[in-house]
Amino acid sequence: MKYNQTVEYAINNKIIESGDIFVYEDLPNERFYEEVYNFCSKNLEIQQVDGLLSTSLFLYYNYYSKNANAGIKKEHNVILINIGLMRNCFERFLYNVELNDYTERKWKKITDSFNTSVSHLAFQINTHFTYYHELAHLFQMSNKRSEIGLQERGSDGIYNIIQHKLEINADTFAAICIATQIQQYIETCFAEIDQYIVTNTITIFSACLLEHIICFSDSFKLYYDEKSHPHSVIRMFNIILNLTNHLSSNPKYIKKGINIEINFLFRKILDFHAELEKNGIFTSGFSDFVNSKMLDNDRILKHFKEIKELDKSDGYIDAMDVWNSRV
């Protein structure tokens, strides 16, 4: 379905109020809204054809907060991405010309082989990541019958360990999807790959994803067993770990002698992100936080272990189990 058909369908079936739906037709960023819509709606179709989801819709939500949403409404799975989040991705990534200039100067041999600009690729990776995260939420609730909505960045401060577990699980799923996308992209752009191409391409995209995730938090004041959603820094840690872990086990890389050492790559991503901040290209302030030595890796890893070992799930399913059930 084209976007206007999806909008019409959602309104006719009373799934969402017409005033809540954002219509991008004839607007300056129409092309990019359309591009993301096409990617997400096609991907949702694949999940339906494969029997992993029932009827599912992707729409833009007419709200300005940097947020996204997945839920079940009138027996339809719905993913909503706020225009506030899209605008943030336009400004920070798509129209970040300095990001292109800087990466082209640093890794010309690599960026010359890309089929579009780094800023455009960063925009795609970050919007796709958000989509995959919401898709994971739909998988998690795939055996739920009643209407259900999950608001990201919940405003209430009440600690909910199940919600933390679901968020970390959705991020893990999305990180693996993005890792796969990066792998495919490298295969498309380079006839021959080597250690230099693979590690630096991963570094460029991962640093952009890091900046995207970090921007979901207003403060670097870390917390663990608090609030409804996990802190962005904790989320970022889990995402980059899963992304690098997945890429390091790629049989093609191993066969070619390309060695992706997780700790080395993790450090390289943080260093490149810090370099971009130092040059005013990214502005989250994360590198200052890293330099302040307040990042307690051991505490974060202990937290992941606690969440992973929690056997209570309130009827939600692990998104990875749904994904792996595909025949």
Q: Which residues bind Zn ion (CB under 5 A)?
A: 152, 167, 170
Q: Which is nearer to Zn ion, 73 or 256 (CB)?
A: 73
SS3 label, residue 260: coil
Q: Which is nearer to Zn ion, 79 or 122 (CB)?
A: 79
Token pair, residue 167, equals 């968020």
CB of 133 to Zn ion, least distance (A): 5
CB 29 within 8 A of CB 90: yes
Q: Which is nearer to Zn ion, 152 or 277 (CB)?
A: 152
CB of 312 to Zn ion, least distance (A): 18
End-to-end CA distance of the chain: 25
CB of 141 to Zn ion, least distance (A): 11
User: How many Å apart are CA 248 and CA 245, to the nearest integer?
Assistant: 5
Neighbours of 6 (CB within 10 A): 16
- Secondary structure of 39-93 in the HEC alphabet? HHHHHHHHHHHCCCCCCEEEEEECCCCCCEEEEEECCEEEEEEEHHHHHHHHHHH
Q: Which residues partner with 113 through β-bridges?
A: none
The residue to which tokens 């096609």 are assigned? 42
Q: Which is nearer to Zn ion, 134 or 277 (CB)?
A: 134
CB of 107 to Zn ion, least distance (A): 32
Q: Which is nearer to Zn ion, 125 or 170 (CB)?
A: 170
CB of 73 to Zn ion, least distance (A): 17
